[in-house]
Structure 1
Amino acid sequence: MVAVGLAVLVLRPDLIPGREGLAPEPLAAETARPSQAPPEEVIPDRPTLKEPFKGSPAAAWADGAAGIQAPPAKAVGWMSKAQVADALRTVKTFLVAANIDPVTVKGGRPTAALELLDPEQPDVLSVMEKALVTPTEEKDPTLLFSRFDPAEVRPVGQVVKTRGRMTVEKGERAGEVLVHTDYTFVYPLVKTRPGADEVARTIVRREITFALPDPARYVVTKGSLSVVAWSSNAGNSACDRPAAGFFRPEFTEDLVADPDPGSEGQVVDPYDRSKSLAALPQECATSSRT
C-alpha cells in the first residue's frame, strides 16, 4: 500500500518554479547504520518516465552495483585477507544477481544467484528452486530475489538505486566467518499496458547473513555461499494478492479504483535505514512514501 496525500493541494508539484533541474548531491557510501531516516519533502516531486527517481531520497543513491561496496578486507578467523576479499566479491556478485540483474528483475530465473548458493546447504537452494516453480506464502522467491511480473509491469530505464553496507566478523561456531549485509534497492516501474505512463516505485530492503565455513572442518563447495539468516521488507507491494513469486507494485490509479484494497496496520517509511528490520512490524504495513 502507498499512503496518498497532499494531491488535493498541489497536483503538479513539478511545475513549482525553481524545482526543476535540481539534481541532488550524491551521498557518500554508507559505513554505519544511519541515525535517522532521510528527510521527507512536504510536497515531493512525482516520478516520470524520464526521471523515475524524482522526489525520492534514492535520487542521491548510487546506481546498481556501485551501491554495493565491500569494506576493506582483513584477516578474520580462519580466513586470510585475500580469502576475505574474494568472499566479499562473491557476496556482491550474489546481491547483484539476485536484486539488480535485469533478467531477475524482469521476472526471469535468477540463475547466476542460484549457482552461488552452496548445494551442500540444500535447505536453502532446494527451497528457492521449488519456490520459483510453485511459490507459496511461506516459500516465495521474493524472500531472496527481487522479481516483478513481466505481464503486469516493466522497469523504467536500466537503473536500480542501491544503498547499504556489509560487515565481516568471526562466527560463534568454530571455523566460521560471517558476512552481514543490509541493502535497500529501489525499483521504478510502469504498467505494461500500452500508453501507461504512471511511474510507481517499489523499495526492497534485505538483511542477509552469509556463512563462510572452514573447508577443513565442514563439507562445503569452494566459491559458494551459505545463507544462514535473511529478512526483507518491501515498500509498495500489494499484501492482499496470492503469492505468485513477484512483488506487486501499486499505482495511484489502482488506489482510485479501489481506495481500500485491504492493507492495514502501521505506517512504515521504506527509506528509513536507521532501524533493523527486526524492529519493523511483521504484518502488512502501509508505506509512508515511495
Structure 2
Amino acid sequence: MSWENDGQSALGRMVSGAVGIVVTAGLAILVIRPELMPWRDAGDSTPLAAETARPSEAPSEEAYADMPTLTEPFKGSPALRWADGPAGIELPQAKAVGWMSKDQVAAAMTKTKEFLVAANLDPAVIKGDKPAKALALLDPQQPGVRAGVEKGLAKPTEEDDPTLLFSRFSPAEVRLVGSVVKTRGRMTVEHGKGENARDVLIYTDYTFVYPLVKTRPGAAEVTRTIVRRQVTFALPDPEKFVVTRGKLSVYEWSSNVGNDDCEHPVDGFFHPQFDEDLLADLAAGGSGGPAVDPYDRSRDLDELPQECGTSSRT
C-alpha cells in the first residue's frame, strides 16, 4: 500500500495557516533618521551560536533601528548575526531512531537539509524558477503531494500555493540584494506515535531573511521579507508501507511570512512591500492587522494570528 498520513499532507493544509503580513508599523522609523545619530552603536555583528532549542523570547528591538542599504542589507536586523544560507541549517548529532540506524538517520537529515536549501535558498528558485531539485527529493509514492505541488506551480491558487513550501519572488518586481539569505533554526529527529512508532519524523523550524530591492532602474530602497517555516518530514517503516528509499515524505507544514502583501492575488510568489507602497496604502485608507514580530522564534506558529496582519519590523 502507499503511505498516507491521515490527510495531513494535502497541498495547502497548514497546521497554523499561512499568514501574509504587511509592514506598516515600520513607518514610524521615518520620523527620526538613524544616520543622523552618530553616537548610536551600529549593532553587534558577532555570529550567534547555533540554535539548539526554542528561544525563550524574541530578539530585542532597537528603538531606532538602522535602515538596510544596498551595501549592508541586513543592517538593523537581528539576522545580521545569523548564519549565511546553508550554514544556518546545522544538523544535530545522529542516533538510531525507529527503523533507521544511526547512519540512515544521518543520511535522512542530510536529505532534509538538501530539500530546505533547494526550496528556500536556491538562487534560481528565489528568482521564480521551478524548484526542480526540491521536487526530486520528494517520494513519488506519497499520494497526492508531488502531484499537488506540481499543480500549484502550474496554476497557483489559495489551496495550491507554491509559497507554502518554496520561497519565490517575481523577477519582474524585485531582486535579491547581494547573494546572501540569512538563516536560523533547528532540526530534531523523533520516532512516530502509537502503531507507527517505528516511523521516523524529522522536525524542522527555520527562518529565512531575504533582502530585496525593486527591479526597476534606479531603485535603491531595500526591504526584507522574513519567512519562517515549520516542516515535518516522515520516513515511514518500509516493512509496513510502500516507500522509495532515499526520498522524503512531507508529513505536515506551516509558514509565517513577514512583509508579504497578503491582499495580492495568489500567483505563486511573495510580494514584499516598500515604504512607498505603504505610504500609498495609508493614503488609500489601508489598515493593518494584528502585530507580529517575524523574528520571534519563541512561539509556535499555531500560536500566531491566522489572518493578514502587521509586521512589527523587517
Q: Is contact 2:42-2:66 (8 Å) kept?
A: no
Whole-Å separation in 1 of the counterparts to 2:140 and 2:298 = 34
Identify which range, 169-178 or 125-134, moves more after superposition: 169-178
Deviations 1:265-290 (A, max 9, x none): 21000000000000001111100000
Structure 2 counterpart of 1:285: 309
Q: State the shift of 1:192 in Å.
A: 0.4
Structure 1 counterpart of 2:250: 227
Would you say 1:276 and 2:300 are equivalent positions? yes
Structure 1 counterpart of 2:272: 249
Whole-Å separation in 2 of the counterparts to 1:38 and 1:56 = 10
Deviations 1:24-48 (A, max 9, x none): 2110000000000000000000000
Structure 1 counterpart of 2:192: 171
Structure 2 counterpart of 1:51: 72
Deviations 1:208-234 (A, max 9, x none): 000011222211111110001000000
Q: How many residues align?
A: 289
Q: Is contact 1:167-1:180 (8 Å) kept?
A: yes
The 5 A counterparts of 1:1-290 are 1-2=22-23, 3-10=25-32, 12-19=33-40, 22-172=43-193, 173-259=196-282, 262=286, 264-290=288-314
Whole-Å separation in 1 of the counterparts to 2:285 and 2:83 = 33
Please, which runs of 5 or more residues in structure 2 have no aligned partner?
1-21
Q: Secondary structure at the match of 2:296?
A: coil
Distance change in 2, residues 1:21/1:271 (3 Å): closer
Whole-Å separation in 1 of the counterparts to 2:223 and 2:121 = 17
RMSD: 1.4
Distance change in 2, residues 1:289/1:8 (3 Å): closer
Distance change in 2, residues 1:261/1:60 (3 Å): farther
The one of the two structures with greater contact order (alpha-carbon pairs below 8 A, sep at least 6) is 2
Whole-Å separation in 2 of the counterparts to 1:261 and 1:121 = 46
Q: Secondary structure at the match of 1:184?
A: strand
Q: State the shift of 1:52 in Å.
A: 0.3
Q: State the shift of 1:16 in Å.
A: 2.0
Q: Percent identity?
A: 66
Please, which runs of 5 or more residues in structure 1 have no aligned partner?
none
Whole-Å separation in 2 of the counterparts to 1:160 and 1:15 = 28
